[in-house]
Structure 1
Amino acid sequence: MKFDLHTHHFRCGHADGTIEDYIQAAIKAGLQVIGIADHSPYFGSPEDHPQPGIAMARSAFAGYVEEVLRLKQKYAGKIEVLLGMESDFFPEHIDAYRQAYENVPFDYIIGSVHLSGGKSIFNRNRWKGLSDTEKVEQKTIYYDLIRQSAESGMFQVLGHIDAMKGYFPEFSDIPAAEQIDGTLKIIAESNVAIEINTSGKTKTVGGWYPSDAILERALFYGVKVSFGSDSHVPHRVGDDWEEVRARLKEIGFKDWVFYRRKEPVVVPL
């Protein structure tokens, strides 16, 4: 069974195409399950659209949910459409996000850390001039946020857990084994999955998130894994699915999961 839990569309302001475009692309790619998980509104602000080009407006949220649910019914029997969301994680605004998601019939929510230490994880300049000690501190802050997101109970999947390497490949070489292992232990204990996200290939680093080294540690600690292309264009839906499946089997995983009504559905590799 082929699935992809991480796709976007025009509402976030930096993706192309409609939700239906991604569903049709999934059918064409031979998927049986497609999850729509666009970027959440910034619920930490009272403004309707404080981050145009990054996330959808608050006023677009209800329409997003309604459209996915409508298309879920329209395509029933052809492909299973899941209602998801890629949610930012801000500890200081966690109550606002919980309230916004309450009573929404999500199949799953992906929790992603996009800002760490007050800066975008994809900011190419954030590493300039930092000492080795300061780089370790920044990596530690990042993994502490991921740990907190796992402990929050808000998410079924954690997104791209080493995406800080996207425009700074040297990120993987910053020593932080203790922090990563501690985070993976908490993820396993929290019964949350991590995604293998193939959008790293669209960044300087190339490849996928997370690294094989992290996946090997995740297997050791018993962390569940899922799949997301993080498509911002329809033709990337399901991108590298077969390659990821083969690599996970090589590492030693036996299965992976997607979520329906926030319950894991186990798919053998």
Structure 2
Amino acid sequence: MKFDIHTHHYRCGHADGNIRDYIESAISAGLQVIGISDHTPYFGREENQAFPLISMGKSELGNYVQEVLQLKAEYAGTIDVLLGIESDFFPQHAEIYRDTLSKYPFDYIIGSIHQVYDVSIFNKNRWKKLTPEQHIAVKKEYYRLIQDSARSGGFQILGHLDAMKGNYPAFSDIPAVEVIDETLQVISECGVAIEINTSGKTKLSGGWYPSDSILERALHYGVDVTFGSDAHTPSRVGDELSEVSSRLREIGFKEWVYYKQQRKVIVPL
């Protein structure tokens, strides 16, 4: 079975195409399951759409859910359309995110860290003038937030686990291996899956999130894995799915998962 649980569309302000375009692309790619998972609004701000080029406005959330559910019914029997969403994790706003999202019938929620110390993880300028000790501190804080997101109980899946390397490939070489092992242990204990996200090819790092070395340790700790292209254009739906599947088998994984009605579905590799 072929699936892709991480896709976006025009509402977030930085993706192309509408939801139907992504579904049709999934069908063309031979997928049986397609998850729609656009970015949540910023619920911690009073404005309707605090960041128009990053996430949808609050007023669009209901429309988004309704459109996905309508298309799910329309495409029933052709492809299984899942209602997902990608949520930021801000500890100080976790409750309002949880309360708001609980009002909708999401099949799954992807929890992703996009900011550390209030700066985007993809902002390569954030690293300028930092000492080696500060590099380590930032990396540890990033993974501490991932740990907290796993413990929050608000997510079935954690998104792009080492994406802070996206526009700063040297992030991977910052010496803090112990925090990664600790993070994977927490994720395993919390029963949350991590995605293999192929959108790293659109950043300076290239490759996938997370790295093979992290996936090897994830297997050791018994962490579930899933697949997400993180497509922001319809043509990327299912991108490198077969290659990821083959790599996981080489590493030693026997299965991967996705979520439907917030219940884990196991798929043999």
Q: TM-score category by the smaller chain?
A: over 0.9
Distance 1:188 1:123 in 2: 29
| Equivalences for residues 102-181 of structure 1 within 5 A | 102-181=102-181
| Residue type at the aligned position of 1:126 | R
Pairwise CA RMSD: 0.5
Distance apart, 1:99 and its partner CA: 1.2
Distance 1:73 1:168 in 2: 42
1:239 is aligned to 239
Deviation string, structure 1 residues 93-144 (Cα, Å, up to 9, x no partner): 0111011112310000000000011100000101111111110000000000
| Residue type at the aligned position of 2:107 | D
The question of 1:222 aligning with 2:222 is answered yes
Distance 1:102 1:266 in 2: 24
Distance 1:48 1:227 in 2: 31
| Residue type at the aligned position of 1:215 | L
| Residue type at the aligned position of 2:89 | F
1:43 is aligned to 43
Secondary structure of 2:245's match?
Answer: helix
| Equivalences for residues 183-262 of structure 1 within 5 A | 183-262=183-262
Distance 1:40 1:161 in 2: 18
Distance apart, 1:202 and its partner CA: 0.6
1:74 is aligned to 74
Distance 2:68 2:8 in 1: 12
Distance 1:39 1:98 in 2: 14
Secondary structure of 1:125's match?
Answer: helix
Unaligned runs of 5+ in 1: none
After superposing on structure 2, the runs of 4+ consecutive aligned residues of structure 1 that deviate more than 4 Å are none
Distance apart, 1:47 and its partner CA: 1.1
| Residue type at the aligned position of 1:4 | D
Unaligned runs of 5+ in 2: none
| Residue type at the aligned position of 1:125 | N
TM-score, with length taken from structure 1: 0.99
Secondary structure of 2:25's match?
Answer: helix
Distance 1:133 1:103 in 2: 43
Distance 1:100 1:45 in 2: 13
Identity among equivalent pairs (%): 63
Deviation string, structure 1 residues 52-75 (Cα, Å, up to 9, x no partner): 110000000000000000000000
1:83 is aligned to 83
Distance apart, 1:247 and its partner CA: 0.2
TM-score, with length taken from structure 2: 0.99
